[in-house]
Amino acid sequence: MPIEAAQITAWIGAFSWALSRVGGLFLVAPIFGATTIPVRIRVGLALALVAVIAPMAPVGLEPMSGQGIGVLAQQMLLGGLIGFVLKLVFEAVAFGAQLISTSMSLSYAETVNPLGGGSTSVMSQFYTGMITLLFLALDGHLQLIALLADSFHTMPFGGPGVGADDIWGVLTWSGHLFAGALRVALPALTALLVVNLGFGAISRSAPSMNLFAVGFPITVSLGLVAVWLALRQLPGAFDALSADAWATMRGLIGGGSP
């Protein structure tokens, strides 16, 4: 069966546009874009997804034209926005853990963040590892791949693409970062606030006591107990943030609420 030049052009367009959308997602999304995962594995996974998804994508444009290059940039922007919304959920939990770490006087203890690079507090790293395992246990990675595949039908190539309203909606939703951080950290912060109030009462009744020598180990010990008791609230807080994130991502691709 002879293959015409138009078919080859359509295949190249479908592959390049699908790769740009998947690549934009993999650059920003947590877990998929983690620096600890070797680049070869990430590239191989992206190419495998493109090989499966690209044949389902409707194509009707010339890939090497000016419009085709514009579509290429739109697809990368769309994938990056989807990954950015999900990344905000992880950053909200990490930010809440940072607040707990500061209240426990552990803000000086930092380690390398394997997901996004750079350094972060040990408490943030602990919470990030917990929600990463929770995300994988709830098949969040499979939901993300399914949402990406649905986006090729709800927002095909050459469509209106991502507009200013969509970008503004994502930026508005990013305000959940602070609300989600407070939701994660509030149980432990409340317990640590009671501890600090107790130290304040002790310092007033016994001014000669060296609270820096006595208060630090007590704050750390009671803070770890408070974190242990507050961990049972973490799945509920993470689920609430994830539900809002999935709704935002589906609205971004034109699929409505989940």
Q: Which positions ≥6 away from 244 have C-beta within 8 Å?
A: 173, 176
If pLDDT is split at 50, 70 and 90, which confidence band does 258 have?
very low
Helical pair 66-103 and 176-205, crossing angle rounded to 10 deg: 10
What is the amino acid identity at position 91? E
Tell me which of 202 and 249 has the higher pLDDT: 249
CA 30 – CA 132 distance, rounded (Å):
9
pLDDT for 33 beyond 70: yes
pLDDT of residue 228: 85
Task: Kindly report the average pLDDT of the chain as a whole number.
Answer: 77
**Strand runs (DSSP E) across the chain, as ranges?**
110-112, 119-121
Could you read off the pLDDT of 42-84 as tens digits, one per residue? 888 888 888 887 776 655 555 566 666 777 778 888 888 888 8
Q: What is the pTM of this model?
A: 0.79
For residue 121, give the 3-state DSSP assignment.
strand
State the residue for tokens 């380690």. Answer: 111
Instruction: Tell me the per-residue pLDDT of 149-201, one tens digit each, with 9 for 90 and over.
Output: 888 877 776 666 677 777 787 888 777 777 778 888 888 888 888 877 877 77
Are 17 and 157 in contact, with CB atoms under 8 Å apart? yes
Residue 193 exposure: Cα atoms within 13 Å on the Cβ side? 7
